[in-house]
Structure 1
Amino acid sequence: MAQEDFDEIAETFEFLDDWEDRYRHVIELGRELAPMDDALKVPVNKVEGCASQVWLFPTIDGSGPQATFQFLGESDAMIVRGLIAVLHALYAGRPVAEVPGIDAAAQLKRLGLDEHLSSQRSNGVRAMVERIQLVAAAHLSAAKV
C-alpha cells in the first residue's frame, strides 16, 4: 500500500509542471496528514538536524521481519509537514524488513525534491529518513536475538 501511495504522489508530480504547484501539493499533503497528539511531542521524538520543529513517533505493528512499520509525524512548518506526509507514503505500512533497504534519496528524486529544497530542508529530510531507518534496523536486530 505504501509504495502505491508514493507512486500516486509521483504521478501527480508528473502532471504538475511548475515547482510552485508541486510545492502547494506537498503542503496540501501535509494538511491531510493525521495530527500528532501533543503528548508525543517530547524530546525523545524530536528530530535533530531540521530547520524547523519536527517530531516522529515510529511504531512497529507485529513482531519479527513481517511486522509493519508505521509512524506519526508533525512539524511547525507547513512544507515540512508535507515532506513528512511524503515520507509517510514512502514508508508507512511497509514490512519493517523492507524499510532499511528503501532508497529514499532516489525515490524523492523522482519528485524533483532534490533540486528544489534548501540545504537545510534537505538535511532535515535526511535526518527524518535516518531516524526511520534506525528504528526499523533496531527492531530487526532485536528480532534476531
Structure 2
Amino acid sequence: MTIDDLVESFEFLDNWEDRYRLLIDMGRELPEFPEEARIEENRVEGCTSNVWLVHDTEDGAAPRIRFQADSDAFIVKGLIAVILMAYSGRTPEEIRQTDIEALFTKLGLEQQLTPNRRNGFFAMVERIHEIADREAA
C-alpha cells in the first residue's frame, strides 16, 4: 500500500471505526521486530505506549534509510505503519522534505487521536528526523 492508497482508503471509509480497523490491520502487517532490539536505547521518548525504532542505512551516492519499529499498542502499530510508509527507504533529504503534518491532516488524524497519541506520533517523526540528520552529516 502506498500513501496515496491509504489516503484514498480513508476517504472511502465512512466512519472512524472502520479507519481504526484499517490502521490496526496495517499494524498487524508490520514485519517482525527483533526481540533483541527492544532495549531502552531504541525506545522512543514521548510515547505513552512503548515504541521501539531502529534503522539501517544503505550506502550509496544517496544513502537510503530503512526503518523498523514496533509498539505494544495496536493503534500505535498502525500509526507506525503510516510513518514507515512515509519515511522508510528514503534519503535524508527526502525525509526532511516529507510533509508529514499535511498527511496527518489529510488522513484526519488530528481530529481523532488523543493528545498523547498525537504527541507520540510526532515523537517518532522527530526521532526519524534526528536519524536522517545524523546520516546526512
Common topology (TM > 0.5): yes
Q: Which runs of 5+ in 2 are unaligned?
A: none
TM-score, normalization: structure 1? 0.90
Deviations 1:96-127 (A, max 9, x none): 22101212111111111111000000000010
CA distance in 2, matches of 1:57, 1:137: 15
Give the Å deviation of 1:10: 0.9
CA distance in 2, matches of 1:63, 1:121: 35
Aligned to 2:76: 80
CA distance in 2, matches of 1:7, 1:96: 21
CA distance in 1, matches of 2:60, 2:128: 17
TM-score, normalization: structure 2? 0.95
Correspondences of 1:1-145 after superposition (within 5 Å) = 5-64=2-61, 66-141=62-137
Poorly superposed stretches of 4+, deviation over 4 Å: none
Q: Which runs of 5+ in 1 are unaligned?
A: none
The sequence identity of aligned pairs, in percent, is 42
Q: Aligned residues, how many?
A: 137
CA distance in 2, matches of 1:138, 1:111: 29
Contact 2:67–2:89 at 8 Å: present in 1 too? Answer: no
CA distance in 2, matches of 1:18, 1:59: 37
